[in-house]
Amino acid sequence: MQVFRSFREHRSFALRVALFVFLLVSGLNILSLILMPKEFINSGYPGTSSMLGFYDLPEDSLDVLILGSSHAITGVDTQKLYDDHGYKSYTLGCSEQNIAVSYFYLKEALKTQHPKAVILETLMAFPFRDDKILYSSAASSEKALNYMKPGMNRLRAVYEISKYDSELDPLGMILHFLQYHERWDNLSEKDILIFDDYAYLTLHGYNVKYGNLLKEEQKYRPFDKESGRTGELSPVIRGYLSKIVDLCRKNNMELILLKTPSNKTGADEYRTMSAFARENSLYYLDLNEAEAYGRIGFDYKNDMGNVGHVNFTGAQKIADRIGEVLKESGVTPGSPDRDWEETEGLYKICRENFMISIEDSKAEYLSMAENRRYSLFIVTSGEEGNSVYLRCDHKEVLCRDGTTVMGTLPGSQKEYEAYSNEEGMSVMIDGDEKITGDKKWYAVIYDEVLRDVFDVVYSDEDGRLTHM
């Protein structure tokens, strides 16, 4: 009775305190969102957009969920999988995403989606960083869980993953402002974009890797399936893989293990993962194995963006093969969905950017760069004279007197500065120098939709282009 009487007497105070606490928590939440590091579509591996975009999907709209690290993000063309095979897929991934994170992502995804199949990219089942139990850096685990919605899955993920990595601060991973408050002197326009539609810009978790390896001295040979020896998965990794297997069985989802082409894993890993797949009656598709590699017509130099990650054409080939595998496994595509239709425009933009990123003829390149959503900077020196050419926001500027051209790029608050004079050449965007070296001709292309520079090239004396 004393309690109730006491509460009645101070009810107004209690209400004021409750309101204050509510506003304070809301304020801290907004602060956390601003302070947290972000990886949008203009980042190499846009984990933030991927997570936000996933929560934005219509409920129960997914046929296939793809989980994994950067190899999964860049490796499967989700739009191609929809356009040519009818599967509505989404890649929930971030760079160095460990198997434990993939497990918790799957649990989280099952709250709103009921996919018929799950594809798990297996790079992180094998030592990527030898000093880590889960093989991934603490920073990547933090990034992976930052934008997961608050709830038991995130709490459980933070608790379990920080058990295996002493570098992680579990409290900071829950109360983000504690962990990231020191970013206050490093904030930029990007941090405010979290409240913009731009933050949700994603090709259903797929990120196009630009460029190819044609000009690089890279050697790669797919392995024979009989080579190598069967090893052991680490108990922790095996534990999480088994949990994923169980969860898929429990929810009647087909689990497919996938390894995209890369030089990071070889025959030993193939044999080890094959043994695990056999044990659990799973389909395992390792595209580094000679037969599988040949079947999709993969060409390492043409289809890789860098030594570890496939590029746009590589991801298309993988998507085609996955479409076949899904069909063979009896996974039927669901009905068409507006969400996947709507990303056609963005997909076209990325494809155009990719084509530019592999073009090595200057004339062709300049013709492709005519697109109105691009801002083009060309700086020259030497015999052609010092000049800065800029086409930006429907305006053209040609400056030959060595002065600095300055302004703001369209679609963002990013500032640019470009000059070419006796002292040298520079194209500075948002404080970052985009050109390096002592070549005579450089071009920098900024995409208004992606809000970032996506290609920088220089020209050799023979007029061929090299992408930086």
- Please tell me the distance from the alpha carbon of residue 157 to that of residue 159, in angstroms, as a whole number: 5
Q: What is the 3 state secondary structure string of 152-217? A: HHHHHHHHHHHHHCCCCCHHHHHCHHHHHHHHHHHCCHHHHHHHCHHHHCCECCECCCCCCCCCCC
Residues of this chain, 170-209, that bind another protein according to CB under 8 A: 172, 177-179, 181-182, 184-185
* Residue 13 is a binding residue for another protein (CB under 8 A): yes
Residues of this chain, 45-84, that bind another protein according to CB under 8 A: none
How many chain residues bind another protein (CB under 8 A)? 23
Nearer CB in complex with another protein: 50/179: 179
CA 314, 121, 253: angle at the middle one, nearest 5?
115
Nearer CB in complex with another protein: 34/236: 34
Q: How far is the CB of 188 from another protein (least distance, A)?
A: 14
- The amino acid present at 288, given as its one-letter code, is N
* Residue 337 is a binding residue for another protein (CB under 8 A): no
How is the beta sheet containing 452-459 ordered, strand by strand?
A: 395-399, 387-392, 374-380, 441-447, 452-459, 465-467
In terms of residues, how long is the chain?
468
Nearer CB in complex with another protein: 35/418: 35
Query: Among 64, 128, 66, which Cα is nearest to 98's?
Result: 128
Nearer CB in complex with another protein: 11/215: 11
* Residue 159 is a binding residue for another protein (CB under 8 A): no
* Residue 400 is a binding residue for another protein (CB under 8 A): no
* Residue 6 is a binding residue for another protein (CB under 8 A): yes
Q: How far is the CB of 3 from another protein (least distance, A)?
A: 6
- Please tell me the distance from the alpha carbon of residue 392 to that of residue 408, in angstroms, as a whole number: 9
* Residue 169 is a binding residue for another protein (CB under 8 A): yes
Q: How far is the CB of 23 from another protein (least distance, A)?
A: 7
Q: How far is the CB of 11 from another protein (least distance, A)?
A: 12
How distant, in Å, are the alpha carbons of 98, 111, 146, 240 from that of 157? 11, 15, 11, 12
* Residue 2 is a binding residue for another protein (CB under 8 A): yes
* Residue 1 is a binding residue for another protein (CB under 8 A): no
Question: Do residues 204 and 80 touch, judged by C-beta distance below 8 A?
Answer: no
CA 400 to chain CA centroid, nearest Å? 40
- Give the interface segment with another protein, choosing from 169-177, 330-338, 345-353, 410-418 (CB under 8 A): 169-177
Contact residues toward another protein (CB under 8 A) are 2-3, 6, 9-10, 13, 16, 20, 23-24, 27-28, 31, 35, 169, 172, 177-179, 181-182, 184-185
